[in-house]
C-alpha cells in the first residue's frame, strides 16, 4: 500500500493511477490522517448469452469415451 499526502497526490496523479492499475492501493492523507483510498475499479462481467453457449457446445466433437475415463488415464500417465 502506498501512502501520499494531498500535495503529492495532486502532483503525481498519473503515476499513482498506474500503481492502482498494477494492483496496489493508494491512501491519500491530509494533515497526516487518511482521507481517501484509491483502488482498482471492478469491471462488470458480461453474461454469456445462453444461445451462443448452446451453439458452441453443439459444435464440439463428441468424445468416444467418458471424460472421467480420459482424465484418469491422463493422471495415471503423469500428463
CATH number at residue 26: 3.40.1620.10
Per the structure, the count of domains in the chain is 1
Residue-wise pLDDT for 61-78, tens only, equals 888 889 899 899 999 998
The answer as to whether 26 is a domain residue is yes
The CA distance from 28 to 8, in Å, is 9
The CA distance from 35 to 17, in Å, is 17
Residue-wise pLDDT for 9-22, tens only, equals 999 999 999 999 99
Q: Determine if the pTM surpasses 0.75.
A: no
3-state SS assignment for residue 22 = coil
Which residues have a Cβ under 8 Å from the Cβ of 9 and sit 6 or more positions away? 16, 26, 28
Range of the structural domain that residue 10 is part of: 2-38
Q: Other CB atoms closer than 10 Å to residue 56's CB: what's the count?
A: 10
Which helix (H) or strand (E) segment holds residue 4: the answer is strand 2-5
Amino acid at each position: 500500500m502506498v501512502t501520499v499526502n494531498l500535495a503529492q497526490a495532486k502532483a503525481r496523479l498519473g503515476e499513482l493511477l498506474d500503481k492502482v492499475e498494477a494492483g496496489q492501493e493508494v491512501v491519500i492523507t491530509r494533515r497526516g490522517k487518511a482521507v481517501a483510498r484509491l483502488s482498482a475499479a471492478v469491471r462488470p462481467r458480461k453474461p454469456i448469452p445462453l444461445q451462443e453457449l448452446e451453439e458452441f457446445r453443439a459444435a464440439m466433437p463428441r468424445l468416444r469415451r467418458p471424460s472421467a475415463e480420459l482424465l484418469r488415464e491422463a493422471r495415471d500417465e503423469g500428463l
